[in-house]
């Protein structure tokens, strides 16, 4: 089986570092404060991190260790201003993130999120629909924070999952950081095996959310959960999305776990039995420019085998990383990294970053509104004159 590159943050980090070398890096004397776009929904946002240990399951990639994960919950909150906002990443994880993506040390300051740490849950009538998120291989649970915050601001609880040792950096409560141990380039079989383990991670997290809903606290350090979290979830309305191998994880987990009612694959090649089995529940494929069901060898068979509601869109002017916070972070760090406009476009495409974020979040929100709340905005029925950049693939 041929070895081929995995389009993920692992290879993007190498690309960014190479472009820094090619450019004329100039580190500012005063570090640049990075920012994230403010979410547009009506709800204020709370967040909490959980350290979860899966008793009885050995880690698949580090011998002799029990499987441990870090998960963040993002949710509608009240009294948010009484709680500080959470950083994009904790300090040691952020230092690793900078290094792995070629951002000069000390040149920027980690952005703050709109999530207020530990704020009480705003309990909506009918409960909060739950959305699971899986990051790209070599990314981490923070790399789609912009989109995650947007969903939380519209009344969803989003659980973002760090797949330890598959992700680049996972910081645990004691300050230790678990780094990726998998190679950047893997065979199709290795990628399929990785998806299997991420599938197990995701189903475990959903089990733990069920335990929380029933009044338990699964956090390994027994840190207090946000007030109002227990009993606030609608676990009859669960969906999932992910980017790159996270998108593959979403599809694979849907096949294995009927609790997940709908899913979105953000530009990810699929692996494992789901490619030929397809899905009988709603699924949406969002692709970068040039990626189609003909160019991706997994998308065509998956599409043909899927008997449920399905949609396929392609965002013009985008690159693979346009479906992540790279659209937010790299334009801000281009100066300190010495990136030319052409080099920046090689990472995040030519579409205006703010427009890319608006289009992506609108389509993702419309999908979850349709399939978790049964609110049909008719945006997903075909081409939209409001969003000509998002090309409908019949």
**pLDDT, the chain, mean:** 93
DSSP 321: G
Q: What is the mean pLDDT of residues 289-303?
A: 97
Other C-beta atoms lying within 10 Å of the C-beta of residue 372: 22
d(CA 209, CA 174): 23
pLDDT of residue 9: 52
d(CA 290, CA 267): 11
pLDDT of residue 182: 96
Angle at 100 between CA 96 and CA 102, to 5 degrees: 120
Token pair belonging to 157: 């609880």
| 361-389 pLDDT per residue, tens | 999 999 999 999 999 999 999 999 999 99
**H or E element, residue 35:** none
pLDDT over 60 (residue 7): no
Token pair belonging to 34: 């990075």
Q: What is the mean pLDDT of residues 48-54?
A: 98
Q: Are 150 and 365 in contact (CB under 8 A)?
A: yes
Angle at 311 between CA 368 and CA 254, to 5 degrees: 60
Token pair belonging to 203: 């189903």
What pLDDT band is residue 101 in, cutting at 50, 70 and 90?
confident
Identify the sign of the CA torsion 351, 357, 362, 363.
Answer: positive
47: helix, strand or coil? strand
Which segment of 97-106, 116-125, 289-298 scores lowest on mean pLDDT?
97-106
d(CA 46, CA 53): 23
Q: Are 51 and 59 in contact (CB under 8 A)?
A: no
User: Would you list the DSSP string of 63-123?
Assistant: TT-EEEEEEEEEEEESSGGGSPEEESS-HHHHHHHHHHTTPPTTSEEPPEEEEEETPPB--
Other C-beta atoms lying within 10 Å of the C-beta of residue 29: 6
pLDDT over 90 (residue 13): no
Q: What is the mean pLDDT of residues 246-275?
A: 98
Q: Are 179 and 96 in contact (CB under 8 A)?
A: yes
Find the helix packing angle between 145-153 and 353-373, rounded to 10°. Answer: 50
Token pair belonging to 123: 């309990």
Residue 16 Cα to chain centre, angstroms: 20
Q: Are 245 and 191 in contact (CB under 8 A)?
A: yes
| 184-225 pLDDT per residue, tens | 899 999 999 999 999 999 999 999 999 999 999 999 999 999
Longest dimension (CA), the chain: 57
252: helix, strand or coil? helix
pLDDT of residue 12: 52
* Residue range 3-392, CATH number: 3.40.50.1820
Angle at 80 between CA 79 and CA 85, to 5 degrees: 160
What pLDDT band is residue 293 in, cutting at 50, 70 and 90?
very high
User: Would you list the DSSP string of 294-318?
Assistant: TTSTTHHHHHHH--S-EEEEEETT-
Q: Are strands 157-162 and 128-134 parallel, antiparallel or unpaired?
A: parallel
């Amino acid at each position: 089986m041929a070895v081929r590159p995995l389009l993920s943050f692992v290879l993007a980090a190498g690309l960014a570092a190479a472009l820094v070398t090619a450019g004329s890096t100039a580190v500012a004397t005063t570090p640049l404060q990075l920012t994230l776009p403010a979410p547009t929904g009506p709800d204020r946002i709370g967040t909490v991190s959980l350290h979860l240990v899966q008793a009885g399951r050995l880690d698949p990639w580090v011998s002799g260790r029990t499987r441990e994960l870090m998960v963040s919950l993002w949710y509608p909150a009240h009294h948010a201003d009484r709680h500080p906002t959470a950083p994009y990443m904790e300090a040691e994880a952020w230092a690793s993130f900078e290094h792995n993506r070629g951002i000069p040390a000390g040149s920027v300051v980690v952005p703050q999120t709109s999530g207020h740490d530990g704020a009480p849950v705003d309990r909506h009538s009918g409960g909060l629909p739950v959305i699971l998120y899986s990051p790209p291989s070599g990314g981490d649970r923070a790399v789609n924070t912009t989109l995650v915050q947007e969903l939380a601001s519209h009344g969803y609880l989003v659980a973002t999952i760090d797949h330890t040792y598959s992700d680049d950096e996972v910081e645990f409560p004691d300050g230790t950081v678990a780094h990726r141990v998998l190679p950047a380039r893997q065979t199709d079989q290795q990628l399929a095996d990785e998806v299997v383990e991420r599938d197990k991670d995701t189903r475990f997290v959903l089990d733990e959310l069920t335990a929380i809903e029933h009044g338990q606290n699964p956090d390994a350090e027994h840190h207090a959960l946000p007030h109002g979290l227990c009993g606030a979830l609608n676990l009859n309305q669960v969906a999932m999305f992910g980017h790159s191998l996270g998108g593959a994880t979403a599809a694979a987990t849907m096949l294995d776990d009927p609790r997940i009612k709908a899913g979105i694959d953000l530009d990810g090649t699929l692996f494992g039995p789901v490619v030929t089995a397809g899905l009988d529940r709603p699924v949406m494929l969002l692709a970068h420019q040039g990626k189609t069901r003909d160019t991706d060898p997994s998308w065509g068979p998956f599409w043909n085998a899927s008997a449920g509601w399905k949609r396929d869109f392609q965002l013009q002017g985008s690159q693979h990383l346009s479906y992540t916070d790279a659209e937010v972070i790299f334009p801000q760090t281009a100066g300190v990294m010495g990136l030319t406009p052409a080099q920046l476009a090689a990472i995040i495409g030519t579409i205006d970053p703010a427009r890319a974020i608006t289009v992506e979040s609108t389509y993702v929100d419309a999908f979850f509104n349709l399939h978790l709340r049964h609110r049909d905005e008719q945006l997903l029925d075909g081409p939209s004159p409001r969003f000509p950049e998002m090309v409908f693939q019949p």
